[in-house]
């Protein structure tokens, strides 16, 4: 399908989300859409998907302007969008979600179509499982399969590789190429990972401050793309000397710990964590890193072994005791588990930092907004924020004084520059003796920011290595069950 944006403007009061965008998308092409948070990427794609209307301008499909455009009309035209936070119904089963929006089929036909598509991507989804019990990555997988089943001619993928394995990503990219080449699909790939744009995309579209700054054919130069996105080359953070000056004593100790999750058990975990230390957790989704984070937060049960904080055994204690001891957990599912969707930013800050808790560590809403560059009004609801701003809000709500910070995908949805800003903040916390344990699907993020990397495979902790002693390639091999764990 041929798509044309003609003089697209979108205003929210004085805020100009998109301004004067003229852009053409051709069939059979894969486009990378780049831009820092707040550049207007989500707004432009939400207009294409029918969720919002332009303030001025129009969108043409095969030369015909859209009229009465909405998500249903967009889907009927063949425009499908996979969001960072999938639009699904958690209370329904996988196969029931899969058939939403399509022609009415019986259960047998739906299961057959679901299985064929899932096999194509090597996705492992249980049709009878409720969607609310899936991980974020699995929910993205299901939504992608649903859109493909609906026959989307224009496919918008918003950060689709978050939460899926390396092999699944390779299969996804292979399928995207086939859909573009053999089926003539138009694919827009929204991402912050320049390496993925280089690997997959034939053209790149760059937005900055609501305007189109470039549309370039492959091959791409990363330094040029960064300059187009941010206006100047971003300075890389200086070597963190703190990485080499840790105290020797562990204040957290796990001894042959066995953690019981809803879907599986993580066994025989033994490790120590020092004040100020940063541990990166690497593994394909569902192999144990999620359970370790929740076990350290007191959210899943310790079946065996000892979990020791400052010499005291914490296994079996309630979650609130973990919180009171200075342990804070940030989940990947932002709206479901981290924020109150219908509360405003101001209300979130008031809950996190109540007025009666005064003193020098109190954070005002205005200070939190400024510190993390949250681009919204204090009256805006969490639901109305972009994915990147939701992540910024979660980070801004972290208590001032904590001893152990646990994070799932801390820079998920953030652009390169914002990710650097977040890690600068997190490293400063670690200099003040906060220990940090985080999981990430981005192995470069783990390599660049951790003192140690813990690698999980087959639902076991198979390697605990200083990051200076292991390459990204070796991490990937160990995560896939190849190579020798030490």
Pairing of strands 56-61, 211-217: unpaired
pLDDT of residue 278: 96
Kind and range of the H or E element at 405?
A: strand 404-408
- Residue ranges and CATH numbers for the domains of the chain are 3-230 (3.40.50.300), 241-479 (3.40.50.300)
Those residues with Cβ within 8 angstroms of residue 365's Cβ, 6 or more apart along the chain or in another chain: 345, 346, 349, 350, 378
With a pLDDT cut of 70, the percent of the chain lying above it is 90
At 460, list the tokens: 């076991």
Output the DSSP codes for 160-201: TTTT--HHHHHHHHHHHHHHHHHH--EEEEE-S-HHHHHHH-
Question: pLDDT over 90 for what percent of the chain?
Answer: 43
- Whether the pLDDT of residue 221 is over 80: the answer is yes
| Better pLDDT: 459 or 461 | 461
Return d(Cα 365, Cα 448) in angstroms, integer. 31
Strands 301-309 and 252-260: antiparallel
Confidence at residue 363, expressed as pLDDT on a 0 to 100 scale: 66
- Compute the distance between CA of residue 260 and CA of residue 279 in angstroms, rounded to an integer: 22
The two structure tokens encoding residue 206:
């760059």
User: If pLDDT is split at 50, 70 and 90, which confidence band does 236 have?
Assistant: very low
Is the pLDDT at 420 greater than 90? The verdict is no
Give the model's pLDDT for residue 399: 87
**Which of these, 101, 76, 104, 106, lies nearest to 89 by C-alpha position?**
101
pLDDT of residue 134: 84
Is the pLDDT score of 358 beyond 60? no
At 57, the pLDDT band (50, 70, 90 cuts) reads very high
Q: What distance in Å separates the CA atoms of residue 277 and residue 437, rounded to the nearest whole number?
A: 8
CA 280 to the chain's CA centroid? 16
pLDDT in the model for residue 359 = 46
pLDDT at 238: 43
**Residue-level pLDDT at 308:** 94
The whole-angstrom separation of Cα 362 and Cα 253 is: 31
Query: Is pLDDT at 332 greater than 90 in this prediction?
Result: no
**pLDDT tens across 252-268, in order?**
999 999 998 887 889 99
Mean pLDDT to the nearest integer, 9-23: 88
Q: What is the mean pLDDT of residues 433-442?
A: 91
Model confidence at 237: pLDDT above 60: no
* Average model confidence (pLDDT) across the chain: 86
Model confidence band, residue 298 (pLDDT cutoffs 50, 70, 90): very high
pLDDT of 482: 65
On whether the pTM is more than 0.85, the answer is no
Scan for tokens 């009256």, then name that residue. 379
Q: Specify the range with the lowest mean pLDDT, choosing from 49-63, 98-112, 285-299, 469-483.
A: 469-483
238 compared with 94, residue with greater pLDDT: 94
Per the DSSP assignment, residues forming a β-bridge with 449 are none
87-96, 154-163, 297-306, 339-348: least confident range = 154-163
**Predicted local confidence at residue 262, as pLDDT:** 80
Q: Compute the distance between CA of residue 45 and CA of residue 65 in angstroms, rounded to an integer.
A: 16
Torsion of CA 355, 359, 361, 367, to 10 degrees: 60
Local confidence band at 360 (pLDDT 50, 70, 90 cut-offs): very low
At 70 the pLDDT is 87
Query: pLDDT value at position 337?
Result: 85
How much is the average pLDDT of 36-65?
88
């Amino acid at each position: 399908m041929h798509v044309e944006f003609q003089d697209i403007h979108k205003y929210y009061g004085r805020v100009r989300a998109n301004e004067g965008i003229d852009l053409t998308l051709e069939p059979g092409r894969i486009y990378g859409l780049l831009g820092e948070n707040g550049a207007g990427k989500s707004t432009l794609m939400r207009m294409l998907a029918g969720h919002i209307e332009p303030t001025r301008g129009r969108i043409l499909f095969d030369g015909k302007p859209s009229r009465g455009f909405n998500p249903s009309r967009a889907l009927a035209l063949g425009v499908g969008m996979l969001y960072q936070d999938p639009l699904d119904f958690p209370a329904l089963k996988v196969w029931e979600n899969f058939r939403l929006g399509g022609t009415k089929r019986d259960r047998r036909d739906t299961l057959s179509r679901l299985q064929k598509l899932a096999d194509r991507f090597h996705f492992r989804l249980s049709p009878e499982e409720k969607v609310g019990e899936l991980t974020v990555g699995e929910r993205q997988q299901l939504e992608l399969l649903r859109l493909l089943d609906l026959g989307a001619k224009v496919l918008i993928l918003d950060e689709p590789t978050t939460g899926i394995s390396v092999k699944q990503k390779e299969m996804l990219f292979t399928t995207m190429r086939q859909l573009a080449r053999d089926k003539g699909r138009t694919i827009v790939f929204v991402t912050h990972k320049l390496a993925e744009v280089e690997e997959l995309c034939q053209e790149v579209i760059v937005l900055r401050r609501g305007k189109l700054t470039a549309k370039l054919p492959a091959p791409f130069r990363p330094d040029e793309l960064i300059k187009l996105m941010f206006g100047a080359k971003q300075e890389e953070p200086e070597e963190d000397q703190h990485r080499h000056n840790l105290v020797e004593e562990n204040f957290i100790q796990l001894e042959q710990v066995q953690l019981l999750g809803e879907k599986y058990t993580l066994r025989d975990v033994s490790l120590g964590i020092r004040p100020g230390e940063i541990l990166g957790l690497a593994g394909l989704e569902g192999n144990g890193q999620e359970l370790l984070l929740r076990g350290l937060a007191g959210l899943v049960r310790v079946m065996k072994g000892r979990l020791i904080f400052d010499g005291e055994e914490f296994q079996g204690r309630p979650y609130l005791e973990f919180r009171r001891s200075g342990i804070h957990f940030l989940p990947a599912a932002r709206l479901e588990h981290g924020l109150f969707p219908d509360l405003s930013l101001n209300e979130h800050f008031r809950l996190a930092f109540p007025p009666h808790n005064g003193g020098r560590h109190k954070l005002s809403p205005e200070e939190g907004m400024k510190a993390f560059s949250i681009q919204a009004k204090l009256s805006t609801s969490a639901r109305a924020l972009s994915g990147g701003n939701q992540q910024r809000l979660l980070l801004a709500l972290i208590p001032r004084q904590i001893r152990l910070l646990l994070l799932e995908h801390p820079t998920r949805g953030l652009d390169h520059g914002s990710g650097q800003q977040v890690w600068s903040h997190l490293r400063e916390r670690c200099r003040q003796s906060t220990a940090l344990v985080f999981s990430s699907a981005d192995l470069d993020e783990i390599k660049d920011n951790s003192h140690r990397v813990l690698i999980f495979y087959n639902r076991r902790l198979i390697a605990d290595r200083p990051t200076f002693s292991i390459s990204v390639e070796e991490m990937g091999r160990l995560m896939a069950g190849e190579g020798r764990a030490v």
